[in-house]
Structure 1
């Protein structure tokens, strides 16, 4: 389910809870909402509010850290691809075939990371390197250096190619990291209880209705932000693939 759909469902549940609080206020006898009951309920709501605020803060911080980490990995991947191409260029014209294959492997890599291929977007799919990436790695290993400089360039190129595979594996492992639905359900339940208490002890005047809608929208927007940040390669806040697409210019004839 998309982050927008989840946040809209949460918003609907929170508003429904607030309306249910109004129904309870109009239905329950007056002594049920006397001072003793009011103070007792407000103490409990204060505890739930504190828990919800702590959880929301932790989730936003964790999602933002994960987003920044994967953005850094994409930049590291882009830099290593550029550096690998430069090393192969310095190796000499013998590496032309490997450089061509490297360029061909970039686009399939982008499609897999950003889930542009429907076959690759399914969760639980085991990691498999693309045929072009495996071919590029093999062609780098098959280079036959004739000088010490070429030998050095080949060793550094193989190390960089290995680093590229490791970074790609890290991105693959974190691609399906998301907030568990039971966790979100409990958080939405807490928010619903909080908003129900608002209308339980206060009449829904026009200004209160507007305030309730603003507060409910803000809470659901926080959930949307958390879910969007936890899926950095899809959605409205996805990491841009443009730098990686433009990392290598086409080779001249």
Structure 2
């Protein structure tokens, strides 16, 4: 998700955006960067803050003069908070829908990339022994990309590893420098170049998806709405254990929705993760073909 980052991190984010803009000029330069705070930490902070707002509401309600606790006052608060509640539900539902779509797009992108890697390896194998070096580079690229997107040590993923980008550039360069020696190779050359170009575009689409984020201002606004809502819930709530328990569980449910939203927006870490199976399958297929000769 997007948030205020340290100055060094912001410069790195800007450099990534410029790199993406140069590699994929069809995309506008991005203005958001993912944050490094774990989603669970943000969700727990939301839970504590919203529940505390409900307790503050109870504390304020106990000290209100009787003239402020009339049915008319209750109606004004209830009607006003009904509008805020509707806005919060609509925005949260919309964000969850967008985040779920983005998560599916990320997984689909990995499947498409893996399919194109297998396709290119097949075309290079048909091209002949002259392409064996490029096939080795393609396998190395697939291994490097798997380690970048799904780090074995569980660290944060990156799709901008310089070594991986160098391997991708070498594969692309080989495709453009091919000199066909027969009719079969002349037929294969444009197909190889087409698949190579798709792999490059898909790689930088993953960069774009990593940089895409929901603006922090929208999340802060939604959090303020939740704080207002729960403060109003506590304002006229009876002061006993049942009311406090209900406020605790309700604020937990709201923070759970925020957690799900953040998890879908950061599918490389946390409880909701992308599947590495497509890339692993592509590597297995290439290794099998390499061993079979």
TM-score (norm 1): 0.90
User: Judging changes above 3 Å, is the alpha-carbon distance between structure 1 residues 221 and 244 closer, same or farther for their aligned structure 2 residues?
Assistant: same
**Per-residue deviation, residues 44-103 of structure 1 (Å, max 9, x unmatched):** 010100000010111001111111112111110010001111111112222111111110
1:23 is aligned to 2:59: yes
Is the CA contact (8 Å cut-off) linking 2:175 and 2:192 kept in structure 1?
yes
Select which of 67, 72, 76 maps to 2:108: 72
C-alpha separation between the residues in 1 aligned to 2:102 and 2:156? Answer: 25
Contact 1:176 1:231 in 2 (8 A): no
**Are residues 1:151 and 2:169 paired?**
no
Over the aligned positions, Cα root-mean-square deviation in angstroms equals 2.4
Mean Cα displacement is larger for which, 216-225 or 239-248?
239-248
Q: What is residue 8 of structure 1 aligned with on the other side?
A: 44
Q: Is the 8 A contact 1:19 1:196 kept in 2?
A: yes
CA distance in structure 2 between the aligned counterparts of 1:197 and 1:61, rounded to whole angstroms: 28
Task: Name stretches of at least 5 consecutive residues in structure 1 with no aligned partner.
Answer: none
Matched pairs, number = 251
Work out which of the residue numbers 210, 223, 231 in structure 1 matches 2:266: 231
Q: CA deviation at 1:129?
A: 6.1
Residue 173 (structure 1) aligns with: 208
TM-score (norm 2): 0.79
Distance 1:50 1:127, change over 3 A: farther
Q: Does 1:47 align with 2:83?
A: yes
For residues 1-253 of structure 1, the aligned pairs below 5 Å read 1-114=37-150, 121=158, 130-249=165-284, 250=287, 251-252=290-291
* SS of the residue 1:178 aligns to: coil
For structure 2, the 5+ residue unaligned runs are 1-36
